[in-house]
Structures are given as C-alpha cells and as structure tokens.
Structure 1
Amino acid sequence: MAQGVLPVFQFDNSYARLPDRFFASVYPEPVDGPKLLKFNAALAAELGVEADLSDPTRLAATLAGNVVPQGAVPLAMAYAGHQFGNFVPQLGDGRAILLGEVVDSKGRRRDIQLKGAGPTPFSRRGDGRAALGPVLREYIVSEAFAALGLPATRALAAVATGEQVYRERVEQGAVFVRVAASHVRVGTFQFFAARGDNEGVRTLADYVIDRHYPELKTKENPYLALLDAVAARQAALIARWLGVGFIHGVMNTDNMTISGETIDFGPCAFLDEYDPMKVFSSIDQQGRYAYRNQPGIGQWNIARLSECLLPLLDADEDKAVDAANGVLKRFGETFQAEWVAIFRQKMGLFSSIDKDGDLIQALLGVLHEGQADFTLAFRRLADAAEGRDEAFLACFSAREKAVEWLASWRARLEAETQSGAERAAAMRAVNPAVIARNHRVEEAIAAANYGDLSFFERLMQALEKPYEERPEFADYMTPPKPEERVTRTFCGT
C-alpha cells in the first residue's frame, strides 16, 4: 500500500438502512492532535481493513474521527435502558459513533465504532469525549477476553486526541475504536417498546434474526426462538464470566448485547481473593452487580427483553406471558448447567455425577474462608493433580479446610481413569495463569497518563497467552501486595 494512503474499510452498512427513528446521523468532531497509541494489526487483517502502518499520523486522523473514511455512514444508535433498576426511556450513543459495518474474513458482519468522537443528539449535555484511562482499560480487558476465548467486543485502536477532558479532574482525551458483532442491546428493544412502537420492535427483531440468528427464520415462532436464543447465549456468557472471576460492574440493560458478546468494560474487574459478594464499581453502592448476583441480573435483563417482545410472541397476552416465563425458566437451567460444566473442567473432572455441584460449592467456600486468590488457586490445583499440593495449599491463609477438601476431591477422582498428567494438562487449558489483574491495569493507566506506554505494552504481551506460564511474565501471575490492592473501579464517562 502506498505511503500516506488513508485506511480502507470495505463498508456495507445494514443498520443505516433501517428507518430514521433507529438512529441519528452525526459526524465525529475533529480533534487537535490525534496520535496513534495502539493499533491491532491482526484484528485489522481479520476485518479486511487496509492500513498503512508506515504513516501513523494519517491512520490516527481517521481512527480519531478527523477524516471519515469512504463508505462510512456515521450514526449514533438510539436505545433506552434500565440503569441500576431505574428505567431511562432515552439513552442512545452519547459519546459513540458507528462508522459502519464490514464483513470479515470469516463472513461475519461486524461494527466499527468510535468511542469518544464527540457529542451526538443523545449526549444529554455531555461532551461526547473519552479519557485516556477508560480507553486503555477497555482496550486491555476486551483483548484479554479475546485471548481467554470469551465472547466480547474487540479493540481495533486507541488514539490520543491531544485535547483535555474535564471529569472529576482534568484528563487526557482519547478515542477507542471498538469492533462488535453488533451494538444492538436489550435497551434498543426497550427504546421502541417504551413508545408503544410495536412495528419498530418487529423491525428490530427481524433485523437481529437476519444478522445474528438466521437459522431461526424457519421456526414456527421465530420471535420466541429469538428470545430463547438470546437468553441461552447470555446464560452461557455469564457462567463463563464467573469461571474467570470477572465482575462486569454495570449490567444495565443497555449494556447487554443481543449477540451475546460482553460489552462496555467500564468499572469491571477480576477477583483477586474469592468473595462472592465482591463489588468494585464505585457507582454500585448497593452491590446490585456483585459477583454472585450476575446470573440473577442476567435473567432480570432477559425478563425486560421479553416484555418488549410480548406482542410478537402471541396475540393472546396470557399465552405470550407463559411463553416468556418458559424462557426465563430455561435461562436458569442453562446457566446452572453451563456453570457446573465450567467448574467441573476447572477442577479437572472428566465425568459427571450429581454431587459435583456440592464439591464445587465446597471449594468456593474454602477459597472464601481461606482468602485464597481465585485465579492462582485454580491454576495451582493443576499442580495438585500431579501430586504436588504445596503450591495450592500456599494460596490459603489457613490450610486445614483446604487439606480436607483435597481429600474429598481425590476421592471423587477415583471414579475416573485419566492420569495426573492428563488431568493437569486439561486443567491448565481452562484455568488461566495470567488475567488482567486490577492493579496491573491501573499501573499501566497511571504510567500512560505520564506518557509512558511501556507498562501498557508489557501487560498486553503478558495477556496474549493467558494459559501459558512464561517465566518472563511470572510477575503478572502473582496477586497484589496489600498496598497494591485496587478496591474501587470507575465508569470513566
């Protein structure tokens, strides 16, 4: 590609072809001094995006929104949402602009969105900008999720704007370039349902089926099948969150995608020591979105989606409600099955017996009482599978109950034929050695605020292969020291 040529996106913008009330057309607001901080070349290649890395200035200008690439149809999506249980009938993209959609190398349609690219009609007196810290946090955690194999939006780029933003203090501005299967949320359906716009709900449902669930078109009741499919994906996703100790922090209905991807890595965090009621988000004063509450909130959000779809499920309201209740029941069943299956794998169990749930709960109880680091304890349990108990037991402030649990676990393993080496290898494939630990994320952000991206870059390298123990990144496996603990995370808006 010739030097100086603007990046090329092969746009095909299906959402822009929906009725005008689905979005507001808006262009990014140019910034003074865009500077490329990080560009995900591997993801760009997957998306079919041609970018001239030898000219980062021109690349940054496009990714910050100063230059709108050919074929883009910039827009801000309309949506509503329940925020901490309180319904807001109009939210919308207040600091995000959808440039358009591309079809990637695997035939998947994906959104390209700029976060922090300026105000939109949905900004509600906000400046539409983003600060450097939240941008880097979203870049780090979304790519950490991808490496862990969990469904999530992706990071294409982070760009400094050369401008300041004003929050609780003055901060450096930045733009995050997000890639998603789509940005349709539960709150998008709520936007139309709240206005009594059943035709809008139907149009959106048809769009989602075409884009994400085309196999449902031939179902007897495709809208009920859609509700069921979204519920199943969300139940499985939340089970996987719990498997890696992840706390989203702000599970509002406008932050739950219809595609089943994790979205909006704001005040999110990973557990250090295991505590089922752990909350990090500074805005979650009542613990609504605590670690163990996430499955129930997911089901609650699906209930809100079902309310939007009731007119499409059946002309008889009672039958529609019964059908929706059936979906909610299946959500609980799906979550429980997925959760048990994930923790069986984490404990190295190859078979299934009824009392496995009790064994899992017993381990979690021992982890909590012993103040054990969630990630490290499961990783070191793989060593115990090979007969080396010391590293696992060292995770606990008191060992007695951990020793007792190991005896119960070994009694359970007698029902299986796998060797210790086989079991340990399987466990290391599902129990990460490296996660985006909160103190490491904060360390990277703090240094970046002073112009030093080396901590950010090294953290990104450590997160690339989370299931491997690489000596050069051994320090990223260890829990924080008491003085390094991060107890609060912030939304960043």
Structure 2
Amino acid sequence: MNIERIQQPFIKIFPGDTSNNPMQRNTPKVLFSTIKPAGFEKPQLIAFNEALSEEIGLGKYEKKDLDFLVGNHLPENIQTYATAYAGHQFGNWAGQLGDGRAILAGEITNDAGKRTEIQWKGAGATPYSRHADGRAVLRSSVREYLMSEAMFHLGVPTTRALSLAFTGEEVVRDIMYNGNPQLEKGAVVIRTAESFLRFGHFELMSAQREYNTLEELLDFTIENYFPEITSTDSQKYKDFFENICTRTANLMVEWFRVGFVHGVMNTDNMSILGLTIDYGPYSMMDEYDLNFTPNTTDLPGRRYAFGKQGQISQWNLWQLANALHPMIKDEKFLEDTLNRYGNYFWEAHDKMLCRKFGFDELKKNDEEFFTNWQGLMQELQFDYTLFFNQLEKLTSNVDIKEHFSNASYTFLNEENSNKLKNFIESYESRLKSNTISREESLKMMERSNPKFTLRNYLLYECIEEIENGKTELLEKLTKALKNPYQELFPEFSSKRPSGYDDTAGCSTLSCSS
C-alpha cells in the first residue's frame, strides 16, 4: 500500500491539543487531540479488503503493511489524532465525549479525486476514552468489519472497513455488564468514510459557546462535503440543515428496507453525511418486531427499537437544530423543517414498502394495507427477509401455509393460516391494480429485497471459528455479503436456529467491546 499518500484534512484548520497525552481528561475549546496508536508487538492479519484499498487509492496489500494496519508504523507526513465531540445518550445530555477507541490516520485522495478518511478503531487510549483502555475485542471488530461491508453491498450509506487484525493482546471485558469480566482477544479494525464528522462535533462547539469555531466547522463541512450547497450567508446553513434532514431520513428508510436495527442511536453516533456509523449492538431483523432492540442497555425502555428509529432520528435532528441555532437564528425555519421531516420520512418509507411488495406506486389504501401487514408479521412471527423472499416466489395454486411455514417462528395452525390466506388475497387484489407487468413488479421486488442478510447468529459462529484459528466461514460470509441479492448459499436462507434464541452475543448484545 502507498501509505505515504495519506494527508491531514483537519488539524491544520481547527484548535486542538497537541500534547500527545492519552490521559483521559476534558479538553475544552478544542476539536482534536494528537495521539499516537499504542502499538502492538505480535499483530496478525485476519482480513484485508483489497477492492476497497484499490478504490480509495492505497493500492495492493504487502506483508510489510501489517505494521500500518495496527498503527505500529506511521507515514512521516502525518500526525495522528482523536476528535472531541459531545452528545445526547439515551435522551440525556452527556457533555464532552470523543473518539475513545478511534484514532484518525488522515485522508487519502484517489486518482479520480475522491477523498477518504482512514481511522483505526481499537488502537489504544485517547483523552476521550473515559477511563477505558481504547482497545477493541475480536467479537466487536469482526462485527464491524463484516457488517459495514454488508451494508455497503446492500446499498445502504455506511462507513466501510479496510482491514481486521489481531493485536496479539488480551483485553478484559464484561460482555453483559453482569459482573463476569473475562479475557478476550484484542483486535484492530481500520475503517474508512468520506468523513467521520458527527452531530456531536457541532453540539460540542455550540454547548461550549465556541461560536467562531462552530462557524468555521460549518463552513469547512459545507465546502468539503456538500458541493451542492452554493448559497451564502445564513442561507447556506439553512440549506445545510435541510440537506442533513433529507440524508438522515433516507438512511432511516434504508434501515427499514433491509431490516437493520442500530441499537445505539445517540446523537454522537449520527453521521453528518447520513452514513451508518458505529456498529455496536446492532442486529439484522429475524422475526419481525417493531419493538425489537438488540441492545440490553436499551431495556426496558426500548428507546432505540426497530420501529422507533424514524422518530428517534427526528429527535436527534432537533438536538442538532439547537446546536446550529446560533448560526441560523431562525426558530420558525428550524421548526418547520423538522415538522416536515416526519411527512417526508413516512412518505419515503411507504414508497419503499411499495417497492418491496412490487407495487407500481403509493396509492390511497396502501397505508391501511401496510398496517395490516405489520400486524400479521408480528402476530405470526414472520422472518422479515424470508417472508419477502417467499412472496417473490408465490405462484397460483400454491399451498399458502406450506409455502410460508419455513418463514415463520411460530406454528401456523388453522386460525393463523386463514389470517395469512386472507392477507395474501388482499395482496393479490392490490397487485391487480398495478399499471406495470408482473415481470416488472418482480424485478422491483428483487432489487429491494435481499436474499442474504448478515444475521447475528452467523456472526457469532464466525467469531467462534476465528478464535479457533479458522477462516472458512469468514471467507464464505464475505462472498455472500458482496452478493446480497443472490442466493449463493441456500443454507444462509433460513431462520435463526432455536438454539441461539437466548445466546449472549447473538440474540442479545451489550455496548461492551
């Protein structure tokens, strides 16, 4: 890899702490602190994303590159650093936060002019680690590496992963926060994005009343990442906020389309570019449940449950609006924009469901149809992905109960079967009102409904294999996630095995990593 091409996009512009001090502390009035990765004596490469490396301009992997991938060797022309931000966590103001496990290497520009930031996750403590060690364990690192790439190939805006490596260290973690800490293998992921700027970066400067820096950060962000904004003065900040609202709503719709539940939608985990960021206790949907949250820390309130992600994103945008108010100074504009958000989101959401069902357009009675469908999905515990896969395969004169039985987590008795049959009849009636052919309808469904999603039990099995020195499942999953709209491996097109229903790290997770 040509790591000498990496440049620094941020620290030459904004105030920061350049003491290279990893001690956990407050750093008021700054947006970053320079810090060097901890360094690891016995690293071992697990996976490398060569296609991404070529795409962003780093080139092919060579054995000597492992030292860079774990932060042991740095290009001479860069100073690594962690950024400070703030945020609302589970609805409460948390004050200063920051990159507690992430250290930014810098930015690279490929031959086409596309810029990409490169960041280690798990490479050591920073001033923002909040009394933690800045390390990451294998299980969370595998989950981030694979899932961020899975989301990319599903067509969902996301950060991406360049590499995954053992550090050679063991890290103590209490996986369920229940007083049972254990040693786990340490790992480092390199992740990439156009930018890692979050809502929280703007919240921090506003909360500290650092309005000059807030304005500089806004101008920097608009100039570098929002070329479509050409307005001036305060109007450009209004356009910026509207743009973020649209991107965020579109991202939420994509999460609903593929059945992704983030698990920790704190404002510091919200990308200013509308990317999926910070893969912690996430889950892809197995049995459809609007109240499902994979995060044990989110119980019993279920603030970040699957069905609440739209309204929580709007709540988070209200907090961003408060942070940007000193620059926009127009309460009515902010209120009107946020009030329109809900209408935009739900219309986009229902149009997305139309595509999943193969409907040509959103029609008057479709909202009632979708509500009935949601009730049926929850009552009969249908698997989200498998239900739509079976719907695509539906033909006339098929036994409805038998056709859908392997997509349900409950027994389809006579009463349940009749409910399903009635729904399918309403679905077929709705299809007849389409102005497009059935072939066109099916193509729309096939583009909208993945055949493969990276389920938690598959990740759990993959992590166990890697811990035992095997990579066969890792390689198989990597191939499958690159082709999510094809059924390359029929064994992955099945419900979660019942043996994993209550397995920690599979059906339930915590924020521990």
Match of 2:109 among 103, 110, 113: 103
Alignment pair present for 1:393 and 2:404: yes
Match of 1:246 among 260, 265, 270: 260
CA positional deviation for 1:71: 3.1
**Cross-structure match for 2:165:** 159
Alignment pair present for 1:18 and 2:13: yes
2:298 aligned counterpart, secondary structure = coil
Alignment pair present for 1:462 and 2:480: yes
CA distance in structure 1 between the partners assigned to 2:343 and 2:5 by the alignment: 41
- Number of aligned positions between the proteins: 478
- The one-letter code sitting in structure 2 at the alignment partner of 1:491 is C
CA positional deviation for 1:177: 0.2
CA positional deviation for 1:461: 1.4
Match of 2:491 among 444, 452, 475: 475
1:409-466, Cα deviation, whole Å (9 max, x unpaired): 1111112243333322321121011000111011111221222222222111121111
Query: Which moved further from structure 2: 7-16 or 43-52?
Result: 7-16
**Cross-structure match for 1:317:** none
Match of 2:38 among 29, 39, 46: 29
CA distance in structure 2 between the partners assigned to 1:143 and 1:24 by the alignment: 29
1:176 aligned counterpart, secondary structure = strand
CA distance in structure 1 between the partners assigned to 2:103 and 2:377 by the alignment: 43
State the identity as a percent: 35
Check whether the contact 2:50–2:61 (CA below 8 A) recurs between aligned residues.
Answer: no
Match of 2:365 among 350, 355, 369: 355
**Cross-structure match for 1:491:** 511
Alignment pair present for 1:403 and 2:413: no
Residue correspondence of structure 1 range 375-386 to structure 2 within 5 A: 375-384=385-394
Check whether the contact 2:350–2:362 (CA below 8 A) recurs between aligned residues.
Answer: no
CA positional deviation for 1:123: 1.6
CA distance in structure 2 between the partners assigned to 1:154 and 1:32 by the alignment: 26
The TM-score with structure 1 as length reference comes to 0.94
CA positional deviation for 1:293: 0.9
1:242-275, Cα deviation, whole Å (9 max, x unpaired): 1111110000000000011000110000111111
Match of 2:119 among 99, 105, 113: 113
Match of 2:354 among 338, 344, 355: 344
- The one-letter code sitting in structure 2 at the alignment partner of 1:145 is M
Alignment pair present for 1:89 and 2:95: yes
The TM-score with structure 2 as length reference comes to 0.90
CA distance in structure 1 between the partners assigned to 2:78 and 2:163 by the alignment: 17
Instruction: Rate the CA distance shift 1:350–1:40 in 2: closer, same or farther, 3 A.
Output: same
CA distance in structure 1 between the partners assigned to 2:399 and 2:479 by the alignment: 30
2:3 aligned counterpart, secondary structure = coil
CA positional deviation for 1:237: 0.4
CA distance in structure 2 between the partners assigned to 1:105 and 1:357 by the alignment: 47
Instruction: Rate the CA distance shift 1:435–1:201 in 2: closer, same or farther, 3 A.
Output: same
1:88 aligned counterpart, secondary structure = strand
Match of 1:277 among 291, 311, 314: 291
CA distance in structure 2 between the partners assigned to 1:399 and 1:9 by the alignment: 63
**Cross-structure match for 1:412:** 430
CA distance in structure 1 between the partners assigned to 2:35 and 2:186 by the alignment: 20
Check whether the contact 1:7–1:59 (CA below 8 A) recurs between aligned residues.
Answer: no
Residue correspondence of structure 1 range 71-470 to structure 2 within 5 A: 71-168=77-174, 169-218=182-231, 221-285=235-299, 286-314=301-329, 320-384=330-394, 390=400, 392-394=403-405, 395-396=407-408, 397=412, 398-470=416-488
1:346-367, Cα deviation, whole Å (9 max, x unpaired): 0001123121122122112111
CA distance in structure 2 between the partners assigned to 1:340 and 1:411 by the alignment: 18
CA distance in structure 1 between the partners assigned to 2:403 and 2:201 by the alignment: 46
- The one-letter code sitting in structure 2 at the alignment partner of 1:424 is L
CA positional deviation for 1:331: 1.4
CA positional deviation for 1:392: 4.8
CA positional deviation for 1:59: 1.6
CA distance in structure 1 between the partners assigned to 2:283 and 2:168 by the alignment: 28
1:265 aligned counterpart, secondary structure = coil
CA distance in structure 2 between the partners assigned to 1:252 and 1:106 by the alignment: 34
CA distance in structure 2 between the partners assigned to 1:234 and 1:325 by the alignment: 17
Q: What is the RMSD of the two structures over their aligned residues, measured on CA atoms?
A: 1.6
Check whether the contact 2:293–2:304 (CA below 8 A) recurs between aligned residues.
Answer: yes
Check whether the contact 2:14–2:31 (CA below 8 A) recurs between aligned residues.
Answer: yes
Check whether the contact 2:281–2:294 (CA below 8 A) recurs between aligned residues.
Answer: yes
CA positional deviation for 1:307: 0.3
| Structure 2 unmatched ranges of 5 or more | 16-29, 175-181
CA positional deviation for 1:106: 4.5
1:264-301, Cα deviation, whole Å (9 max, x unpaired): 11000011111110111121122010001111110010
Instruction: Rate the CA distance shift 1:441–1:214 in 2: closer, same or farther, 3 A.
Output: same
Check whether the contact 2:257–2:448 (CA below 8 A) recurs between aligned residues.
Answer: no
2:296 aligned counterpart, secondary structure = coil
1:365-406, Cα deviation, whole Å (9 max, x unpaired): 111111110110011111126775646532343322121111
2:303 aligned counterpart, secondary structure = coil
Check whether the contact 1:201–1:308 (CA below 8 A) recurs between aligned residues.
Answer: no
Instruction: Rate the CA distance shift 1:50–1:69 in 2: closer, same or farther, 3 A.
Output: farther
CA distance in structure 1 between the partners assigned to 2:55 and 2:4 by the alignment: 12
Instruction: Rate the CA distance shift 1:386–1:311 in 2: closer, same or farther, 3 A.
Output: farther
- The one-letter code sitting in structure 2 at the alignment partner of 1:217 is T
Check whether the contact 1:393–1:403 (CA below 8 A) recurs between aligned residues.
Answer: no
CA distance in structure 2 between the partners assigned to 1:122 and 1:170 by the alignment: 23
- The one-letter code sitting in structure 2 at the alignment partner of 1:298 is S
- The one-letter code sitting in structure 2 at the alignment partner of 1:376 is L
Check whether the contact 1:11–1:101 (CA below 8 A) recurs between aligned residues.
Answer: yes
- The one-letter code sitting in structure 2 at the alignment partner of 1:300 is W
CA positional deviation for 1:74: 0.7
CA distance in structure 2 between the partners assigned to 1:326 and 1:399 by the alignment: 46
**Cross-structure match for 2:27:** none
CA positional deviation for 1:330: 2.0
